[in-house]
């Protein structure tokens, strides 16, 4: 594939994601990037060193600043929402973005942020800071976000997905700016040599849009997970549990392992109630139970390890009917 | 009583036809088959956890009622390509057919009592709870209920997806090697050579290896619940009783009723009355995913597995008439139905337009052909998994538009079914 056709493919491959984002299509002219709308009309001429896939009608753009890039946010109506002045910006979600100020490392491992500070900006009021000074932050989901308030060496990566051509060859990268339903906290962390990710222990609390702490500030969590069906796993004193969107520890952090936590393996059962959520937990005895979003027992503790073999006669308690 | 039920059936069928497009979802639900799908995973293979998580995150195909049971994944060693015998032993050993019936009637495991509300909600849109309660007071009423649910319950299927990872190490290595060559392109993308190239070389190598290598082979086994007159009669006569109320008096009366206790025990001990029929199977490898619109590796796994399963379901529908979906015409001016590429609609497809006819003697429903239609080539809805994220052609539509091949007087709500 020649360079011209490769770039044509890139333009096509960089089509945006959501309906709102359909009005912002990144395009490249020479080495510079800009945005067009769905009809091909230019919104921003090619002037940026990088441009992301759009999210919620917004695009992440970068300008060259010496040997570094400075990042800002532009909107589909042709306005610059945040001037390119941050060392990185990410996690566009629910009208907020996470902004980073600090070192951007460029090593054999890849491009990552570590040692600086993260905070949030409310895009409806970008002049007003919405909390700064965090070691790491998660995105706002259902009006709440996790923030880590203690220093770690966690390497926060730039989120990208490769662009492949029709033959499966990698010809570039998409910069990811938005947050999908399948977002995982692991998406943010630079994988190790084996492709795994490891969060160091931090001091995580849950905050609302106003920056109010929803979980106790004096007993933060060592590690936390993303919210699914209104529940997120948490780790405290080496034990796991779950909190809800109000910050209530509805399944206490007393278990040696819980569903979705690092090191857990998916089981055979899928208990999907009409409303709420069910998660499995493992206690000190190695027994597994399934608990609901209020901490109530759906299936009591059993030595069933969660995996059903095709040669098994499944215990009656495991069946819903 | 029988006439009453025939009237209810007729009303339930005729109602959506007369009400037009805004109510076709009701008819769609009425005629939907019910599906329990689970997977066989292979813990001795790479990527097994990722495949299981991807499968668990997939919803039941939207042309079927979700009839899932709690066990959604069973494991097996990956020694054999064909696990049909093991699957059938598993299904029989665990009384899966009986559990599907239990789910239809929302059996309470504690009391053993049944509840017709699911049958009602999936089928009796024209009937009231009182109608069903009245029917349950007599043998004939129960028979009428059986007639009512007969078609729906007999259209209960199981798909067992044996998903194996196809290890394309060689392809992955090729993809990784390519990264050395693309530096020039990457530099052009970024305008900041060092940063992005380094990032691409590491992150790109990891992700592209996964992507280039991530292929699954799925062998989908299709079974149907063998729900016939004999089975239904036996079930209603020997096992069926309504759930007792939760109040203390009802529970006390129930506890003292030895006949109900005997029915409960007999149902739990019965491992022969309820059976499954093997319909067929289909095996295929997943296609290469289009990565546009995907955010992370989990999205890729979900898309690859979701598309591959949808493809197998589509092929099984083409092969086996009893598994074909019947969907209502959404509108007639223009002719539209909410099926698309996921259901295998192509420019060469043809569909018969069906009119339900109620047998006044048996109360059962059959279908007469009213005509034949075909899709308009450039108006085929791309409803495949994540097609809109991919911005595939046709994904912006909400239904497929058809044109008439033969017949006339089509009305919204009439059912269409693919013909060979």
- CB contacts under 8 A, A 262-291 vs B, are 265-272
Q: For residue B413, how far is the Cα from the chain centroid?
A: 21
Asked whether residue A222 is domain-assigned, the answer is: no
**Pairwise CB contact (< 8 Å): B299 & A182:** yes
Tell whether B315 and B381 lie within a shared domain.
no
Q: State which of B322, B349, B384 marks the end of a domain.
A: B322
pLDDT the model gives residue B141 = 57
CA distances to B209, B324, B417 from B321, in Å: 40, 5, 9
pLDDT the model gives residue B119 = 84
Q: Is A20 on the interface with B (CB under 8 A)?
A: no
pLDDT, tens digit, for every residue of B59-78?
888 789 999 999 999 999 98
Q: Find all residues with CB under 8 Å of B79, minimum gap 6, and list them.
A: none
Edge-first strand listing for the sheet containing A42-48: A25-29, A32-36, A42-48
Q: How confident is the model at residue B361 (pLDDT cuts 50, 70, 90)?
A: confident
pLDDT the model gives residue B135 = 53
Give the whole-angstrom CA distance, residue B68 versus residue B34: 9
pLDDT the model gives residue A92 = 96
Specify the number of domains making up chain B. Answer: 2
Tell whether B103 and B219 lie within a shared domain.
yes
Q: Which of B10-14, B54-58, B231-235, B356-360 has the lowest mean pLDDT?
A: B10-14
8 Å CB contact between B136 and B1: no
8 Å CB contact between A114 and A136: no
Tell whether A176 and A109 lie within a shared domain.
yes
Residue B331 gets which letter from DSSP? E
Q: Is A307 on the interface with B (CB under 8 A)?
A: yes
Q: State which of B297, B322, B347 marks the end of a domain.
A: B322
Tell whether A140 and A69 lie within a shared domain.
yes
- CB contacts under 8 A, A 108-137 vs B, are 108-111
pLDDT the model gives residue A14 = 38
- Tokens 């009986």 identify what position? B98
Give the whole-angstrom CA distance, residue A159 versus residue A174: 9
Chain B residues whose beta carbon lies within 8 Å of the beta carbon of residue A267:
73
- CB contacts under 8 A, A 65-104 vs B, are 67, 69, 104
Tell whether A202 and A295 lie within a shared domain.
no
DSSP H or E run through B189: helix B183-190
Tell whether B121 and B234 lie within a shared domain.
yes
- Nearest to residue B343, comparing CAs of B368, B308, B310? B310
Task: Show the low-confidence residues of chain A (pLDDT under 50).
Answer: 1-22
**Pairwise CB contact (< 8 Å): A161 & B296:** yes
Tell whether B244 and B222 lie within a shared domain.
yes
Asked whether residue B4 is domain-assigned, the answer is: no
Asked whether residue A218 is domain-assigned, the answer is: no
Beta bridge partners of A315: none
Asked whether residue B133 is domain-assigned, the answer is: yes
Asked whether residue B208 is domain-assigned, the answer is: yes
Asked whether residue A146 is domain-assigned, the answer is: yes
Asked whether residue B14 is domain-assigned, the answer is: no
Which among A274-278, B23-27, B98-102, B386-390 has the top mean pLDDT? B98-102
- CB contacts under 8 A, A 227-256 vs B, are none
- What HEC string does chain A produce? CCHHHHHHHHHHHCCCCCCHHHHCEEEEECCEEEEECCCCCEEEEEEECEECCCECCEEEEEEEECCEEEEEEEECCCCEEEEEEECEEEEEECCEEEEEECCEEEECCEEEECCCEEEEEECCCCCCEEEEEECEECCCECCEEEEECCCCCCCEECCEEEEECCCCCEEEEEECCECCCCCCHHHHECCCCCCCCCCCCCCEEEEECCCCECCCCCCCECEECCCECCEEEEEECCEEEEEECCCCCCEEEEECEECCCCCCCCCCECCCCCCCCEEEEECCCCCEEEEECCCCEEEEEECCCCCEECCCCCCHHHCCC
Rg of chain B over Cα atoms, rounded to whole angstroms, equals 25
Give the whole-angstrom CA distance, residue B121 versus residue B126: 10
Tell whether A137 and A244 lie within a shared domain.
no
Q: State which of A138, A173, A207 marks the end of a domain.
A: A207
Residue A50 to chain B, least CA–CA distance (Å): 5
Asked whether residue A35 is domain-assigned, the answer is: yes
Q: How confident is the model at residue B146 (pLDDT cuts 50, 70, 90)?
A: low
Give the whole-angstrom CA distance, residue B252 versus residue B250: 5
Tokens linked to A111: 């491009």
Q: State which of B322, B353, B374 marks the end of a domain.
A: B322
Q: For residue B65, how far is the Cα from the chain centroid?
A: 6
pLDDT the model gives residue A168 = 66
- CB contacts under 8 A, A 184-203 vs B, are 184, 187, 191, 195
Asked whether residue A254 is domain-assigned, the answer is: yes
Edge-first strand listing for the sheet containing A129-134: A88-93, A96-101, A117-122, A129-134
pLDDT the model gives residue A109 = 72
Q: State which of A207, A236, A266 marks the end of a domain.
A: A207
Closest-CA residue of B relative to A175 is B295
pLDDT the model gives residue B129 = 44
pLDDT, tens digit, for every residue of B83-94?
999 999 999 999
Q: What is the mean pLDDT of residues B96-122?
A: 92
Tell whether A90 and A151 lie within a shared domain.
yes
pLDDT the model gives residue B398 = 92
Q: Which of A5-9, B146-150, B400-404 has the lowest mean pLDDT?
A: A5-9
Strands A239-244 and A231-236: antiparallel
- Nearest to residue A243, comparing CAs of A138, A114, A112? A138
**Pairwise CB contact (< 8 Å): B103 & A321:** yes
Give the whole-angstrom CA distance, residue A178 versus residue B295: 8
Closest-CA residue of A relative to B299 is A182
Report the complex ipTM. 0.82
pLDDT the model gives residue B61 = 83
**Pairwise CB contact (< 8 Å): B175 & A170:** yes
Tell whether B169 and B113 lie within a shared domain.
yes
Nearest to B191 among A32, A160, A187 (CB): A32
Chain B residues whose beta carbon lies within 8 Å of the beta carbon of residue A165:
none
Tell whether A245 and A171 lie within a shared domain.
no
Tell whether A37 and A184 lie within a shared domain.
yes
Q: State which of A173, A207, A241 marks the end of a domain.
A: A207
Asked whether residue B168 is domain-assigned, the answer is: yes
Tell whether A174 and A251 lie within a shared domain.
no
Asked whether residue B251 is domain-assigned, the answer is: yes
**How many contacts does A have with B, using Cβ atoms within 8 A?**
201
Asked whether residue A212 is domain-assigned, the answer is: no
pLDDT, tens digit, for every residue of A189-199?
887 766 677 78
Chain B residues whose beta carbon lies within 8 Å of the beta carbon of residue A13:
291-292
Tell whether A198 and A231 lie within a shared domain.
no
Tell whether B280 and B333 lie within a shared domain.
no
Chain A residues whose beta carbon lies within 8 Å of the beta carbon of residue B206:
191, 195
Specify the number of domains making up chain A. Answer: 2
The larger pLDDT score, comparing residue B175 to residue B86, is at B86
**Pairwise CB contact (< 8 Å): A320 & B69:** yes
Tell whether B297 and B332 lie within a shared domain.
no
Mean pLDDT over each residue of chain B, to the nearest integer? 79
Q: What is the mean pLDDT of residues B97-110?
A: 96
Nearest to B71 among A163, A178, A314 (CB): A314
- CB contacts under 8 A, A 25-44 vs B, are 28, 31-33
8 Å CB contact between A25 and A36: yes
Beta bridge partners of A90: A98
Closest-CA residue of B relative to A12 is B292
Residue B100: count of CB within 10 angstroms of its CB: 23
Tell whether A12 and A139 lie within a shared domain.
yes
Tell whether A179 and A303 lie within a shared domain.
no
Tell whether A270 and A157 lie within a shared domain.
no
Tell whether B186 and B236 lie within a shared domain.
yes
pLDDT the model gives residue A194 = 66
Helix (H, G, I), strand (E, B) or coil at B100: helix
Beta bridge partners of A172: A163
Chain A residues whose beta carbon lies within 8 Å of the beta carbon of residue B208:
162, 164, 170
Closest-CA residue of B relative to A169 is B175
B35-69 burial code (b ≥16 CB/10 A, e <16): bbbbbbbbeeeebbebbbbbbbbbeebebbbebbb
pLDDT, tens digit, for every residue of A86-101?
999 999 999 999 999 9
Q: Find all residues with CB under 8 Å of B255, minimum gap 6, and list them.
A: none
**Residues spanned by the domain of B245:** 33-322
Interface test with B, best of A87, A168, A226, A317 (most B CBs within 10 A): A168
- Tokens 């990037």 identify what position? A33
Tell whether B314 and B375 lie within a shared domain.
no
Asked whether residue B5 is domain-assigned, the answer is: no
8 Å CB contact between A187 and B296: yes
Q: For residue B54, how far is the Cα from the chain centroid?
A: 17
Tell whether B75 and B221 lie within a shared domain.
yes
Tell whether B329 and B290 lie within a shared domain.
no
Q: Find all residues with CB under 8 Å of B316, minimum gap 6, and list them.
A: B159, B220, B222, B279, B280, B281, B282, B323
pLDDT the model gives residue B297 = 82
**Residues spanned by the domain of A296:** 227-321
Closest-CA residue of A relative to B192 is A49
Tell whether B254 and B133 lie within a shared domain.
yes
Asked whether residue A220 is domain-assigned, the answer is: no
**Pairwise CB contact (< 8 Å): A50 & B190:** yes
Residue B97 has pLDDT above 80, yes or no: yes
Asked whether residue B10 is domain-assigned, the answer is: no
Burial class (CB in 10 A: 0-12, 13-18, 19+), A163: buried
Give the whole-angstrom CA distance, residue B63 versus residue B39: 19
B306-321 burial code (b ≥16 CB/10 A, e <16): bbbbbbbbbbbbbeee
């Amino acid at each position: 594939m020649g360079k011209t056709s490769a770039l044509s493919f890139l333009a096509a491959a960089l089509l945006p994601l959501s309906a709102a984002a359909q009005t912002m299509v990144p395009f490249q002219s020479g080495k510079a990037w800009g945005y067009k709308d769905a009809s091909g009309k230019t919104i921003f001429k090619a002037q940026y060193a990088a441009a992301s896939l759009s999210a919620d009608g917004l695009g992440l753009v970068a300008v060259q600043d010496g040997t570094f890039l400075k990042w800002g946010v532009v909107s589909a109506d042709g306005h610059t929402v945040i001037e390119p002045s941050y060392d990185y910006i990410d996690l566009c979600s629910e009208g907020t973005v996470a902004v980073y100020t600090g070192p951007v490392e460029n090593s054999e491992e890849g491009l990552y942020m570590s040692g600086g500070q993260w905070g949030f900006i409310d895009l409806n009021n970008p002049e007003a800071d919405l909390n700064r000074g965090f070691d790491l932050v998660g995105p706002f989901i259902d009006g709440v976000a996790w923030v880590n308030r203690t220093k770690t060496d966690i390497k926060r990566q730039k989120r990208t997905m490769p662009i492949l051509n029709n033959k499966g060859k990698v010809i570039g990268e998409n910069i990811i700016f938005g947050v999908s339903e399948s977002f995982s906290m692991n998406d943010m962390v630079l994988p190790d040599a084996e492709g795994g990710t490891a969060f160091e222990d931090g001091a995580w609390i849950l905050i609302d849009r106003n920056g109010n702490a929803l979980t106790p500030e004096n007993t933060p969590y060592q590690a936390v997970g993303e919210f699914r069906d209104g529940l997120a796993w948490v780790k405290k004193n080496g034990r796991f549990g779950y909190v809800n969107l109000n910050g209530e520890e509805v399944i206490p952090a007393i278990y040696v392992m819980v569903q979705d936590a690092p090191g857990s393996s998916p089981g055979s059962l899928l208990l999907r109630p009409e409303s709420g959520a069910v998660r499995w937990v493992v206690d000190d005895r190695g027994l597994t139970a399934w608990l609901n979003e209020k901490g109530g027992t759906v299936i009591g503790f059993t030595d069933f390890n969660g995996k059903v073999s095709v040669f098994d006669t499944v215990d009656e308690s495991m069946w819903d009917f | 009583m029988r006439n009453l039920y025939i009237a209810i059936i007729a009303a339930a069928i005729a109602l959506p036809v007369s009400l037009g497009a805004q109510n076709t979802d009701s008819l769609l639900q009425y005629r939907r088959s019910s599906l329990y799908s689970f997977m066989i995973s292979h813990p001795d293979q790479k990527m097994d956890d990722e495949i299981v998580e991807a499968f668990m995150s997939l919803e039941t195909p939207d042309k079927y009622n979700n009839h899932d049971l709690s066990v959604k994944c069973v494991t097996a060693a990956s020694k054999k390509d064909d696990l049909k015998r093991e699957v059938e032993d598993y299904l029989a050993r665990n009384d899966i057919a009986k559990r599907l019936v239990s789910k239809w009637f929302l059996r309470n495991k504690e009391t053993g009592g049944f509840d017709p509300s699911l049958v009602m909600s999936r089928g009796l849109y024209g009937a009231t709870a009182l109608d069903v309660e009245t029917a349950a007071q007599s043998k004939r009423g129960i028979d009428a209920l059986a007639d009512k649910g007969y078609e729906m319950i007999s259209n209960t299927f199981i798909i067992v997806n044996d998903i194996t990872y196809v290890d394309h190490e060689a392809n992955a290595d090729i993809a990784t090697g390519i990264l050395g060559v693309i530096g020039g392109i990457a530099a052009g993308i970024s305008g900041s050579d060092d940063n992005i190239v380094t990032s691409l070389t590491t992150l790109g190598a990891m992700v592209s290896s996964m992507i280039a290598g991530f292929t699954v082979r799925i062998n989908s086994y299709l079974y149907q619940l063998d729900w016939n007159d004999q089975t239904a009669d036996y079930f209603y006569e020997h096992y069926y009783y309504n759930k007792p109320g939760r109040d203390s008096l009802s529970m006390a009366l129930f506890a003292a009723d030895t006949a109900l206790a005997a029915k409960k025990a007999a149902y739990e001990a019965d491992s022969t009355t309820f059976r499954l029929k093997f319909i067929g199977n289909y095996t295929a490898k997943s296609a290469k995913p289009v990565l546009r619109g995907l955010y992370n590796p989990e999205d890729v796994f979900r898309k690859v597995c979701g598309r591959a399963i949808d493809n197998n379901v589509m092929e099984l529908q083409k092969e086996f008439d009893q598994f074909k979906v019947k969907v209502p015409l959404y509108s007639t001016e223009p002719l539209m139905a909410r099926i698309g590429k996921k259901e295998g609609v192509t420019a060469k497809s043809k569909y018969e337009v069906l009119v339900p006819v109620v047998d006044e003697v048996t109360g059962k429903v059959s279908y007469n052909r009213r005509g034949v239609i075909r899709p308009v080539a450039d108006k085929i809805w791309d409803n495949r998994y994540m097609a809109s994220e991919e911005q595939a052609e046709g994904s912006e539509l909400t239904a497929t538009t058809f044109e008439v091949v033969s017949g006339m007087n089509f009305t919204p709500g009439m059912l269409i079914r693919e013909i060979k």
